[in-house]
């Protein structure tokens, strides 16, 4: 087996050991087997293919989450601008638009399994109900 292939395999085994994907004694055995008893060939787990893919996926997930939040704020901003431009002074229409946005956030949170959208939608609805109760009473 060539040296590059052994290096990749040993990096993967170290990654498994670090993330407890295999018991430590199995990983130690495999490292000893592939290094042929030469412990000076210590390979770090950051060289592992799985580690590099995990970092790439995390960056993509963060970007997608940021995009979802940006879209939610854009929809809220557009609905408020629409109300300001066409329906200024009609408070019930504003409350209806805000309830619609909160329901949309709640639905997005449930469908996309995003806790922050679910919480913000529910909290928005609760605050709107409190606002309505205070203005009526």
The string of DSSP codes covering 54-79 is HHHHHHHHHHHHHHHHHHHHHHHHHH
Task: For residues 34 and 30, give the distance between their C-alpha atoms in angstroms, rounded to a whole number.
Answer: 6
The answer to whether 48 and 42 are in contact (CB under 8 A) is: no
Q: Which residue has the higher pLDDT, 137 or 133?
A: 133
pLDDT tens-place string over residues 60-97 = 788 898 999 999 999 999 999 988 888 888 888 989 99
Reading the block at residue 43, the tokens are 């390979």
pLDDT of residue 30: 85
The pLDDT, as a whole number, for residue 41 is 52
Whole-structure pTM over 0.85, yes or no?
no
Count of CB atoms within 10 A of residue 38's CB? 9
> What region does 42 belong to: left with phi over 0, alpha with psi -120 to 50, or beta?
beta
Q: Given this model, what pLDDT does residue 98 score? A: 92
- For residues 31 and 18, is the Cβ–Cβ distance under 8 A? no
CA distance 23 to 55: 24
Average pLDDT over residues 28-44: 70
| Model pLDDT for residues 89-129, shown as the tens digit of each residue | 888 898 999 999 999 999 999 998 989 999 999 999 999 99
DSSP code for 30: H
In b/e form, how buried is each residue of 2-22, taking b as 16+ CB within 10 angstroms? eeeeeeebbbbbbbbbeeeee
Torsion of CA 8, 12, 15, 21, to 10 degrees: 180
CA atoms of 109 and 120, how far apart (whole Å) = 9
């Amino acid at each position: 087996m060539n040296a590059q292939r052994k290096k990749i395999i040993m990096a993967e085994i170290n990654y498994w050991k670090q993330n407890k994907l295999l018991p430590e004694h199995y990983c130690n055995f495999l490292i000893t087997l592939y290094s042929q008893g030469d412990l000076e060939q210590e390979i770090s787990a950051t060289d592992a293919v799985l580690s590099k893919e995990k970092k790439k996926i995390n960056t993509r997930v963060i970007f997608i989450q940021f995009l979802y939040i940006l879209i939610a704020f854009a929809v809220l901003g557009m609905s408020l601008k629409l109300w300001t431009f066409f329906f200024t002074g009609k408070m019930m229409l504003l409350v209806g638009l805000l309830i619609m946005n909160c329901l949309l956030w709640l639905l997005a949170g449930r469908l996309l399994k995003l806790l922050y959208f679910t919480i913000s939608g529910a909290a928005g609805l609760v605050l709107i109900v409190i606002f309505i109760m205070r203005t009526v009473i």
